[in-house]
Structure 1
Amino acid sequence: MSSYPDLKLYIGGEWRKTADNLSVINPATEAEIGRLPIARISDLDDALSAADEGFRVWRRTAPRKRADIMLRAAAILRDRQEEIARSITAEHGKPLPQARLEVIRGCEFLEWDAGEAMRTYGRVIPSAPGVRYVVHHEPVGIVLGLSPWNFPMSQPCRKIAGALATGCSIILKAAEETPAGAMHIVQAFHDAGLPAGVLNLVFGEPAEISDHLIRQDPVRLVAFTGSTAIGRHLTTLASENMTRVLMELGGHAPVIVCEDTDVEKAATSSAIRKYRNAGQVCTSPTRFFVHESIFEPFLDTFVKRAKATSVGDGMDAGVEMGPLANERRVPALAKLVEDATAKGAQLHCGGGRVGNRGYFFEPTVLAKVPDAALVMQEEPFGPLAVINPVASLEEAIAKANAVPYGLAAYGFTNRADYVDRLTDEVEAGNISFNTLEASLPETPFGGVKSSGYGREGGTEGLDNYMNVKNVSHSMEIV
């Protein structure tokens, strides 16, 4: 399609192509829409050299100037919102209105961290007379950013924003399935006057790229968003060189619905959010634990809204849910449904593929799913919701914590004592009440347990990208 960009690598301030390439597929039509160049080892080494030179320049650039360039790039991206959104919908499948919102969210990440670039304060620690201790924050160095396919534009923005705000340079390996979002970001920074080498973009074989670059001494931080299994592997690689990691990994978000809530509003808003981005969100509400006194009306309302979800090509008007982003997710979801129903779960809607062209899967609701079902332990990462009754808040909390993940969690209640208890006892890096919004640019985002390490966003988000140096001053030689 005409709005889809000519895909390239970006190294040392210049665009380049390579002899080998991959096909980029529109998941709604299964048609090829682009060819993506694959980085060779020589390209990766070039990117490393460029990032090293870029870091030397950028770390000496005044925070105000860094912020100005970031804000200029964000303004360019806002001006190009429609073009970028159409590229995202073409390669990912999400409805065009959601793609437009993703562009704005990516800009907000850049804008927030641009402001924080000027507030990476140190401090003076009081001590004995004639002695002063001063704490400095310094950029960690070259960052290797690894971003996923589910948010082609906003996720790369998050890593670029953190790196550039603190004075780091970055080599970004964006997702090969959805490369256009990252290309648009890089083009905006190029046009905004970012010095060569500060931001580099590569694509290729993920394992080869990570294995080669993580082992290089100049790489001082690996910032990854993706699955827990891959995150563990990358952390192991990084540990061999004592390289710092920032890991935003998988989730399996619980939703605890208490007996005092507005059932209609809670169920409707939950269903709408569940099928946003076809459920391909690490914070997607998935395991619903509903008090037994309101279980049936909650389930009925949720199922009704799920069935009403308009599924189709994201370019078409009125579509609420597009296809899955890749073909492999279709059998993976079907397997989870088959396993759950075989073990006694009730299938209330969905459960299978839609049509025979495109990677479409029905909005699916399973109820009264036994703990032994795979879906109770494995994140479905798709349009599949599990709704189970619970007899008490104690039972709901126990079930919410019964998985190795702890990224996002949600609660619906109007009781202050329930809010306090859920806040204290639910194991998650982010918990939201009476809303299904888990993250904003100004709030710290990250997980506990197997959901990751470190935080992105908020005033805490830049900590990962900086070293802390303590400097001692004595007025006399001791």
Structure 2
Amino acid sequence: MTSRPFLDPALWQEHVYSGGWRAAAESADLIEPATGAVLTRTGVAVAADVAPAARIAAQAQAGWAATPPRERAAVFLRAAQLFQDHFDELALFVTRESGAILPKGQHELREAIAFCQIAASMPLQSQGQVLPSTPGRLSLARRVPLGVVGVISPFNFPLVLTLRVVAPALAAGNAVVIKPDPRTPVSGGFLIARVFEAAGLPAGLLHVLPGGAAVGEALVEDPAIAMISFTGSVGVGRRIGELAGRHLKKVSLELGGSNALVVLDDADLD
């Protein structure tokens, strides 16, 4: 633990993260749900920001995929340590931004640490197999990175539901463009960028473009984006699936669910 602040609001005020912290086309106040007060101010992306980000990501991805596995793994170990070192500060910010209770924010931080530790093991795992073939022939199959992955993440568990995609995608040798929910652009994006920048992730591999539906659609339709991961409502998921299908683009959709709760007659409701 450390008493020195890790998060610096000046990084994302009037800025987005794309090839580094750069001036945003727009900006907006971020309101703390519990108080109604302004928590911070952040940059907001527009649809025109997507193509340059995707292009930079694609250029950076080739070098990252060729980086020795142990060097890639080390980035995630450092990221996990940063989440641990600044646990209290980050958990409190996630709590305040998402309108949650502190134990929920702490849970997100614990999961973030675990995701980074798991991701650190991925570059060192076997990525291929020998296939049956006729005598005198050798048939091999190996996994290769997709390229650039677009991540459209929700507000309810912003850190967990973003990082669970970002960490393995980067570990596998891909670049990532995140469009976090506009209600949680820091926990779902800028906080992650801050951690990975400090952990030594090469520039250009991670982009954070908070914005509205136009930014999301531009991300889905951009030809440099090889895959879209979306967590959110059924209606938006259908729209993303439709757009991705037009481009024969890989897509992963986790859509709105309903959790059942059974209360027995002898339950103590007090």
| TM-score (structure 1 length as normaliser) | 0.52
| 1:5 equivalent in structure 2 | 9
Pairs within 5 Å for 1:143-222: 143-181=149-187, 182-205=189-212, 207-222=213-228
Per the alignment, residue 426 of structure 1 pairs with none
Say whether residues 1:57 and 2:26 are aligned partners.
Answer: no
Offset of residue 5 of structure 1: 2.7
Question: Which of the residues 262, 265, 269 maps onto 1:296?
Answer: 265
Q: How does 1:110-121 map to 2 (within 5 A)?
A: 110-121=116-127
Q: Which residue does the alignment assign to 1:129?
A: 135
Instruction: Please give the per-residue CA displacement for 1:1-28, whole angstroms capped at 9, x wherever unaligned.
Output: x97734331111x102324222211111
Q: Aligned pair 1:37/2:6, yes or no?
A: no
Contact 1:77 1:188 in 2 (8 A): yes
Identity of aligned residues (%): 33
**1:248 aligned residue:** 254
Asked whether the equivalents of residues 132 and 139 of structure 2 are also in contact (C-alpha less than 8 Å), the reply is yes
Tell me by how many angstroms 1:120 deviates: 4.3
Aligned residues between the structures: 261
Identify the structure with the greater helix proportion: 2
- Name the SS of the counterpart of 1:217 in structure 2: coil
What secondary structure is seen at the aligned counterpart in 2 of 1:36? strand
State yes or no: 1:86 paired with 2:129.
no
Aligned equivalents of 2:178 and 2:201: distance in 1?
Answer: 15
Measure the CA separation in 2 of the matches of 1:97 and 1:41. 36
Please state how far the C-alpha of 1:40 moved relative to its aligned partner. Answer: 2.7
In 2: Cα distance, 1:168 partner to 1:44 partner: 17
1:76 Cα deviation (Å)? 1.1
**One-letter identity of the residue aligned with 1:188:** V
Alignment of 1:53-452 (within 5 A): 53-181=59-187, 182-205=189-212, 207-253=213-259, 286-288=260-262, 295-297=264-266, 300-301=267-268, 303-304=269-270
Would you say the 8 A contact 1:102–1:154 is kept in 2?
Answer: yes
Q: CA deviation at 1:237?
A: 0.6
d(CA) in 2 for partners of 1:188, 1:174: 16
Q: Which residue of 1 aligns with 2:52?
A: 46
Superimposed CA distance per residue, residues 49-94 of structure 1 (whole angstroms, 9 cap, x where no aligned partner): 2111111111111222111111111111211111111211221121
CA distance in 1, matches of 2:247, 2:171: 25
Contact in 2 for aligned 1:23/1:36 (Cα 8 Å): yes
- Gap runs ≥5 in structure 1: 254-285, 305-478
Q: Distance in 2 between matches of 1:118 and 1:249?
A: 32
1:150 match: secondary structure: coil
Report the Cα distance in structure 1 between the residues aligned to 2:126 and 2:23, rounded to whole angstroms: 38
Distance 2:61 2:127 in 1: 20
Question: Using the alignment, how far apart are the partners of 1:24 and 1:142 within structure 2?
Answer: 28
Alpha-carbon distance in structure 1 between the residues aligned to 2:109 and 2:23: 26
Residues 30/115 of structure 1: CA separation in 2 closer, same or farther (3 Å cut)? same
TM-score by length of 2: 0.91
| Higher Rg | 1
> C-alpha separation between the residues in 1 aligned to 2:17 and 2:230?
20
Native 8 Å contact 1:148 1:174 kept in 2: yes
Point out where structure 2 has 5 or more consecutive residues left out of the alignment. Answer: none
Q: Over aligned residue pairs, what C-alpha RMSD do you find? A: 1.8
Q: State the secondary structure of the residue aligned to 1:170.
A: strand
The runs of at least 4 consecutive aligned structure 1 residues that moved more than 3 Å come to none
Q: Is 2:221–2:243's contact at 8 Å kept on the other side of the alignment?
A: yes
